[in-house]
Structure 1
Amino acid sequence: MNIALITGSGGLIGSESVIFCADKFDLIIGIDNDMRSYFFGNEASTNWNVEELKNNYSNYKHYNIDIRDHAGLEKIFSEYGKDIKLIIHAAAQPSHDWAAKEPLTDFGVNATGTLNMLELCRNHCPESVFIFTSTNKVYGDNPNILPLVELEKRWEIDASHPYFERGIDEQMSLDHTTHSIFGASKVAADVLVQEYGRYFNMNTAVFRGGCLTGPNHSGAKLHGFLSYLVKCNLSGDHYTIFGYKGKQVRDNIHSYDLVNMFWHFYQNPRKGEVYNAGGSRFSNCSMIEAIDAIELVSGKKMNYSYTNDNRVGDHIWYISDIQKFKDHYPDWSYKYDLNDIVSQIHNSMKGRVAKSV
């Protein structure tokens, strides 16, 4: 039997992974205890997504387990370990601001939870492929020291800089920077995944995501900016832009395109590899440009205001250089650009917002 095990299976990347892998494996094991609702409130609950997965995929088996619970995870690995071929570890506490409220919880989920998964993989299915969804926040605020130029609606890197053509590559330093508590816990997990690949010779990969997004995102105020922006636009709720004149730039990658990267790696894995994974120059926008795009799709004006107080460790300009991954896996390509993403989120969110009002 071929099994794929996916943590955070009710979340954006986890659920996309379930859908993508459902016809490629005999059994999909999903692990998700809806901690997103604990982090961000009931509006961010992933239970609706888990129920859809249960209803739509007969080979999906769900476990309501906390990834900090080593004993609970051990039972799953003891039962299925020899048949697990792929692990996609997407469960996380994903917010800068929330992490500062409960650093122990943040580190427990992001770092200790990842260590639990790695060690159980090593003990029960060491030949499997282990994929970790990391974040560009491991670079801290180092991107903010780049030479930036202010344009009408965005910040942009100086055209003479090596990063101008493709974006930020994997050689950017993780040191001498402010990460935020969240960024620090993800650094710990990121380095652990690399080390298990190199030290224990396991098939592991770190994907340092830009803004991961798509129609299955349960966007909340503290996480999932495109999804939450669309939700606010549709509901009329107020949105606050924090700092940098609303010109801070994010690259946005559709959850399908990221999971397709995972799939290409799975078919030809490497040991302890690291990839930046975002929308690159193909799909990116500033906050102001995102609002423009959403208003164009919905036909509604955004209810928003601006404050000069930027978030600690927030990036002014971040675009991922994905050339390393493309060099390793030249058959991979994007399927969805920014306009596709915004339209899909709008169409998906429209029904959910209507039910809640």
Structure 2
Amino acid sequence: MEIALITGSAGLIGSESVAFFADKFDLIIGIDNNLRQYFFGAESSTEWNKNRLSETYTNYRHYNADIRNPEELAAIFQEYGTDIKMVIHTAAQPSHDWAAKEPFTDFTVNANGTLNMLEMTRLNCPDAVFIFTSTNKVYGDNPNFLPLIETETRWEIDESHPYFKNGIDEQLSIDHTKHSLFGASKVAADVLVQEYGRYFGMKTGIFRGGCLTGPNHSGAQLHGFLSYLMKCAITNNHYTIFGYKGKQVRDNIHSYDLVNMFWHFYQSPRAGEVYNAGGGRYANCSMIEAIKLCEKISGNKMQYSYTDDNRIGDHIWYVSDLSKFKTHYPNWNWTFDLTTTLSQIHESMSERLRK
């Protein structure tokens, strides 16, 4: 039997992974205890998505386990052993602001939880491919010291800079920078996954995501910017822009395109490899540009305000360079542009809000 084990399986990337791999593995094991509801409130519960997966995929088996608890994880890993061929670790506390409220919770989920998953894999299925969803926040605020230029709707990097053409590559330092506590806990996890690849020779891949998005995102004010923005556009709820004149730029990758990166890596894995994973120059926008696009798709005028208080460690401009991954896996490419992704989010969000 061939098994894929996915943490955070009811979240955005976890649920997309379940859907993507359901016909490629005999059994999909999902681990998710809906901590997202604890982080961001009832409106961000992933229970609806867990139920959808259980109803849709007959080979999906869900475990309400906590990645911070090695005993709970050991029982699952020992049950399936070397039949586990792939581990996709997406479970995390994902918010800058929330991490500062409960540093112990943030670190134990992001760092200790990742260590638990790595060690369970090493002890029970060491030949499995281990895929980790890291974040561009491991670079801290180093991107803010690039030569940026203010335009009418966005900040942009000077066209003479090497990053102008394709974006920020994996060589940008993760040191000597302000990360936020969330960024620091993800750095710890990121380096651990690299080390299990380099030290133990495990097939580990680290994907440093930009803004990850898609129709199955339970967006909240503190996390899931495009999903929450579209929710506000549909419901006429107020939205607050934090700093940088609303011109801060994010690249956005659809959850399907990211999981397709996992699939390509799984078929030809490497040990301890790091990849930036975002929308790159193909799909990026400023906050102001995203609001205009949400208004166009929803047909509603958005209610929003601005505060000069930017989030600590937040990026002014971030566009991922995926050249390294595309060189290693030349058959991969993006399939969802920004308009298509936001249209999907609008359709999915509207349907959920009607229920």
| TM-score, length basis structure 2 | 1.00
Look up the match of 2:169: 169
1:34-73 correspondence to structure 2 within 5 Å: 34-73=34-73
The superposition leaves residues 203-259 of structure 1 with CA deviations (integer Å, 9 ceiling, x where unpaired) of 000000000000000000100000000001111110000000000000000000000
Q: 3-state SS of the aligned residue for 1:318?
A: coil
SS of the residue corresponding to residue 289 of structure 1 reads helix
- 8 Å CA contact 1:234, 1:353 repeated in 2: no
Does residue 94 of structure 1 match 2:94?
A: yes
Q: CA deviation at 1:85?
A: 0.3
Distance (whole Å) between structure 1 residues aligned to residue 57 and residue 351 of structure 2: 22
Task: Name the counterpart of 1:17.
Answer: 17
Tell me the distance in 1 between the aligned counterparts of 2:233 and 2:142.
Answer: 32
- Please name the residue that 2:200 is paired with: 200
Shift of 1:354: 2.8
| Counterpart for residue 348 of structure 1 | 348
1:317 match: secondary structure: coil
Output aligned runs, 1:168-247, within 5 Å. Answer: 168-247=168-247
1:229-268 alignment, distance < 5 Å? 229-268=229-268
Per-residue CA deviations over 1:315-351 (Å, capped at 9, x if unaligned) read 0000000000000000001110001110000000012
Three-state SS of the structure 1 residue aligned to 2:332 is: coil
Structure 2 residue identity aligned to 1:62:
H
SS at match of 1:281: coil
Cα deviation, residue 353, structure 1: 2.1
Residues 180-218 of structure 1 deviation map (CA, whole Å, 9 limit, x = unaligned): 000000000000000000000000000000000000000
Partner residue, 1:273: 273
Identify the residue that residue 77 of structure 2 maps to in structure 1. Answer: 77
* Structure 1 residues 265-300: Cα deviation after superposition (integer angstroms, max 9, x where no partner): 000000000000000000000000000111110110
State the partner residue of 1:145: 145
- Is contact 1:206-1:273 (8 Å) kept? yes
Moved over 6 A (4+): none
Deviation of the 1:82 alpha carbon? 1.3
Q: Does 1:116 align with 2:101?
A: no
CA distance in 2, matches of 1:352, 1:61: 24
Find out whether 1:335 has 2:335 as its counterpart. yes
Distance, in Å, in 2 between the alignment partners of 1:230 and 1:269 is 36
Q: Which runs of 5+ in 1 are unaligned?
A: none
**Number of aligned residues:** 355
Q: Does residue 103 in structure 1 map to residue 126 in structure 2? A: no
Distance, in Å, in 2 between the alignment partners of 1:140 and 1:242 is 17
2:8 corresponds in structure 1 to 8
> Does the Cα contact within 8 Å between 1:4 and 1:85 map onto a contact in 2?
yes
How far apart, in 1, do the equivalents of 2:310 and 2:276 lie? Answer: 24
